[in-house]
Amino acid sequence: MQQISLAPVDGVHITTLMDNSSDALLPDEGLVRRFGLAGTAAPLPVIPAELAEEKQNFDFLRAEHGFSAMVEVAGRRILFDAGITAEGVAGNLDRLAIRPETFESIVFSHGHFDHVMGLNGLAARLGPTHLPILLHPDFWLRRRFVSPDRTLELPTPSRSAIEGAGFTVIEGRQPSFLLDSAILVTGEVDRTTPFETGMDGHEAFRDGAWQPDRAIHDDQAVVLHVRDKGLVILTGCGHSGIINIIRYAKRLTGVDRLYAVLGGLHLRDGAVVSETVAALAEEAPAVLVPAHCTSWKAQHALAAALPGAFRPNAVGSRFEL
């Protein structure tokens, strides 16, 4: 594999715009600033409330089963994933006083609906802007989950609808850069570990038939290199396997030091949790923020194995790395 040159940056801010939890009582913690009653990331907005003496009430960020984050480097912004509902990320941007027209591009980690369909709300807000969207070609596949007792077909993103809304789609399997080579989009991640074997029961419609799709090859991550600190890796679901992603990012960039891992890790249960936790402890990130599709059991295992690095996530958390 030929190494690529990822420009080091002096710092990056990553703000959680959507996740599975919202906690207004989480305090600031070192490099983490929180939104809410105890944090200082943003002032609390107010909304009308007829039943209050003052006729107003505090408004708080919404959580949903989905993921979205804003990545800021030297005052420039990209959006990573868009959550699940039209009002979710769009509403949280309003509560955080972030204007969606300040995003220079959107990166989708993969094509699952809980990372994509919130684009509806942004499209309505932005209008036809020709904002570039970076994604893997498998993003458009029809998909479903098959278990012994049910089959659930997932909502499928529509290329014609997304382009018709005014976005510019950029497809690629290979790594690519954003913001003058400050941000690396991994493209398709090499699968090399024996224990990160994908998702049971996940299928895709290819060549006129439903076929197993454990690997979910369109899963990609965003990588930055913070000067004198190491790599920062942001995932959506981590279907590629977080250890695969870390090792791939190191091989791509030639940077061996890992600074931070943030985002969904898709760790649920079974041997993959203990093996991933052990491998991640060996990688020794200074900051670890498991989010979205990381189970309660996996969260506790990660917190126990990396107590100094572990930080809980919540909507509105801003990680100043």
* pLDDT tens for each residue of 90-121: 999 999 999 999 999 999 999 999 999 999 99
Is the predicted pLDDT of residue 297 greater than 90, yes or no? yes
- Please compute the mean of the pLDDT values over residues 305-319 and round it to a whole number: 98
Q: Tens digit of pLDDT for each residue in 160-217? A: 999 999 999 999 999 999 999 999 999 999 999 999 999 999 999 999 999 999 999 9
CATH topology for 8-320? Answer: Metallo-beta-lactamase; Chain A (3.60.15)
Between the CA of residue 146 and those of 60, 156, 173, 196, 206, what are the distances in Å?
36, 16, 27, 20, 16
- Going by C-alpha positions, the residue among 252, 156, 276 that lies closest to residue 204 is 156
In angstroms, the CA 230 to CA 241 distance is 20
Q: What is residue 103's three-state secondary structure?
A: strand
pLDDT of residue 292: 95
Residue type, 104: E
Confidence of residue 3 (pLDDT cuts 50, 70, 90): confident
Whether 312 contacts 22, CB under 8 Å = no
Lowest-pLDDT range, 41-45, 137-141, 234-238?
41-45
**Phi/psi class of residue 231: alpha, beta or left (left: φ > 0; alpha: ψ in -120 to 50)?**
beta
Is the predicted pLDDT of residue 2 greater than 80, yes or no? no
- The reported pTM is 0.97
128 contacts: CB under 8 Å, gap ≥ 6: 165, 166
pLDDT of residue 180: 94
- Going by C-alpha positions, the residue among 116, 129, 204 that lies closest to residue 163 is 129
**What is the DSSP code (8-state) at residue 153?**
E
**Phi/psi class of residue 81: alpha, beta or left (left: φ > 0; alpha: ψ in -120 to 50)?**
left
pLDDT of residue 269: 93
- Going by C-alpha positions, the residue among 189, 199, 201 that lies closest to residue 243 is 189
- Please compute the mean of the pLDDT values over residues 243-266 and round it to a whole number: 98
Residue 249 structure tokens: 């990012």
Between the CA of residue 303 and those of 26, 296, 298, what are the distances in Å?
17, 11, 9
Whether 189 contacts 237, CB under 8 Å = no
123 phi and psi, to 5 degrees? -60, -40
Is the predicted pLDDT of residue 1 greater than 90, yes or no? no
What's the maximum distance between 2 C-alpha atoms anywhere in the chain? 65
pLDDT of residue 84: 97
Question: Average per-residue pLDDT in the chain?
Answer: 96
